[in-house]
Each structure stands twice: as C-alpha cells, then as structure tokens.
Amino acid sequence: MTDLLIAAGVATVLAMVGTPILINWLRSHGIGQQIREDGPEHHLTKVGTPTMGGVALIGSAVAGWLMAHVEATFTTRGLLAMLTVCAAAAIGLADDWIKVRRRRSLGLNARAKMAAQLVVAAGFSIAAVTWLKVDTHLSFTRYNSTGINLGKVGWVIFAVIVIVGCANAVNLTDGLDGLAAGSSTFTFAAITVIGFYQFRHPGIYRNPAPLDEAAMAAALIGGCAGFLWFNAAPARIFMGDTGSLGIGTAIGVLALLENVDLLLPILGGLFVLETLSVIVQVASFRLFRRRVFRMAPIHHHFELLGWPETTVIIRFWILAGVFTALALGSFYADFLSRGGIG
C-alpha cells in the first residue's frame, strides 16, 4: 500500500511543480496549440495555448513509479509496460512538435502515425507472450474467466487492437479542457484498486506483478491530477497527443496485464462512447450523406446544442465515474462469487 501512496504522491507533486515550469518554457519559445478550423467557433480563442503538456504528465508519472521502487523490486511486466507508454508518448510528442513547427492542427501523416502506434503495440504484445509468458485467454475480471484461448498469435493481434484502440479513444476524447485528464483519473483509480485486490488474493487472480501494475496506475492518477490543476477550464496548457497517446496506451496495457481486457469497455466507457460517436458519424455520412450528430466526437455535439463547455466536461466526468463504479462493481461481484477469499 505504501508503494501506491508514494507513486501517486510523488507524481502529483512533480506534476504540480513541473507543469507551470513547462508552461513558462513553452510560452517563452512561442509553442502553442493550433485549433482545427472546422471545430466550434469559440475554440478559436484557444489558439496559442501551450501544448505538449503530456511531457509533464507522463514524466511525473514515470518519476512517481520509479520512486515507488526505492525499497521494492522492479518487475519485467512493469518495465515493459512503462517503456511502452513512453514510446507511445514519444509518438505523440513528434506529432505535437510537427503541429507547432508547421503551425497547423495536423501533425504526423495519418498513416505514419498509425504505423508507429502499431509498431509500439506489436512490440509490447510480442514481448508479452514470448518474454512475460502472459496468459492468452480472454478474461473479464480475472485469469481465464471465459475459457476462450486465443493462442499466442491471436492474443498478439487482440492486444494490438486493444492498445491502439485505447490510445486513439483517449486522443478523441481530448477535445475539451480537462476532459481526458479528469476522465482518465477515474479509469486509473479503478485499475489501481483491481491491481491491489489481485495482490491481496493471488489464488484467485494469478497475476505475478499486480502491485507493480497498481503502482504504475497510481502514478498516472497523480500525473493526471497534478496536470489537471492547470488543464482545467480555462486551460493554461493542453496535454497534446503526447499525453493522450501515453494515457490511452497505459490504460490498454494495464488492462491486458491485469487480465481485465473484456472489462475494459466498461472501465473506459466514456472513451468508448466518444469513439462510437465518431464511427457512427462517419458511417452515416458516407452511407446516407447525413450526420447523426452536429459534430463528432460527441462532446462537440453537446457544445453546439448550447451547453457551456464546463457543463459538458463535468457531466462527462460524471459519466466516467459511473462507468468506473460499474466496472468495480462487476469486479467485486465476481470476487464475492468466489467466496471473497483466495
């Protein structure tokens, strides 16, 4: 338990201290966000707001996780997971840098960005089945809870889809001040609780490194919370793709390692809704030349309906909290079904 508190505490403090330093540095170098021209009109006032705040968010989380190991031993699962998150954040950093250098709202070429994400996700997945010997069964709340074995190749493909899907889902959600950071805090809180329960009940969950994974999630809670202090509306800094890709990848990777991959659509329910809104919008327009929403992702739809930005953000945070409660309720119900011991 101490490891989790250290990870979260150190990450929070570093994010609170490091983010304003980063803001000042970015402003002094004229590094600001470019806003998409087809977005809500009032978003144009945000042009020039410092971006790439994910450097402080992910950086503080990494530091918090490292400090949690002052007396604890590093695990190969934890190291692989954190390296994967840092690699995804690096892709986002490259994308953000191109945006600010070329002064446009588009960064890396879409194909290049997706290819890089696939490489990172595949690297983790292949290492996980060959090096970590992860279980290849589909799981809902615990080890092999479905009885469906994907095999090594099938699991690698599945894991890549999960990781890339999570990364881009969080990226789509990151369209309003503090929306992605606040929502992700709920998800990481659930992942922390699940990891701690798996640590306390190894006979049920059979996870060889649950405490290390929980410490990583706790560090990300701290990073998100500390960064949110400056990212809340009106934002003084945006996380950019550096933060959103790093956060999304972390959610996917930790869910896979904790064997709750099928619980993930509930854990990250808000991110699923945001992604589905884009899929529905694109499919409807291409098939019927009609839009279902005024604008996608769906948070922009509610803005254009007249909801103030802060109202959309807070209500979506509430939704994220509800999904988190449902996921933890499902996890605990399964725990009780096993007699609450193990």
Residue pair 166/248 in contact by the 8 Å Cβ criterion:
yes
Q: What is the pLDDT of residue 146?
A: 83
Q: What is the pLDDT of residue 143?
A: 81
Spatial separation of the C-alpha atoms in residues 303 and 213, rounded to whole Å: 37
Q: 10 Å Cβ neighbour count for 223?
A: 39
Q: What is the pLDDT along the chain (342 residues), one digit of tens a residue?
A: 789 999 999 999 999 999 999 999 999 888 766 655 555 555 555 677 898 999 999 999 999 999 999 877 899 999 999 999 999 999 999 999 888 877 665 667 889 999 999 999 999 999 999 999 999 999 999 887 788 999 999 999 999 999 999 999 999 999 899 999 999 999 999 999 999 999 999 888 889 999 999 999 999 999 999 999 999 999 999 999 999 999 999 999 999 999 999 999 999 999 999 999 999 999 999 999 999 999 999 999 999 999 999 999 999 999 999 999 999 999 999 988 876 665
Q: What is the pLDDT of residue 299?
A: 95
Closest to 27 in 3D by CA, of 232, 198, 238: 238
Q: 10 Å Cβ neighbour count for 111?
A: 8
Q: What is the pLDDT of residue 104?
A: 60
Q: Is 226 exposed, middle or buried (0-12, 13-18, 19+ CB in 10 A)?
A: buried
Residue 87, φ and ψ in degrees, nearest 5: -65, -40
CA distance to 129, 147, 264, per residue, from 323 (Å): 30, 25, 10
Spatial CB neighbours of 69, under 8 Å, sequence gap ≥ 6: 3, 215
Q: What is the pLDDT of residue 34?
A: 60
Residue appearing with tokens 């290492």:
127
CA distance to 34, 35, 99, 191, 243, per residue, from 240 (Å): 11, 12, 10, 23, 6
Q: What is the pLDDT of residue 31?
A: 79
Q: What is the pLDDT of residue 340?
A: 62
Backbone torsion region of residue 302, taken as left when φ is above 0, otherwise alpha when ψ lies between -120 and 50, otherwise beta: alpha
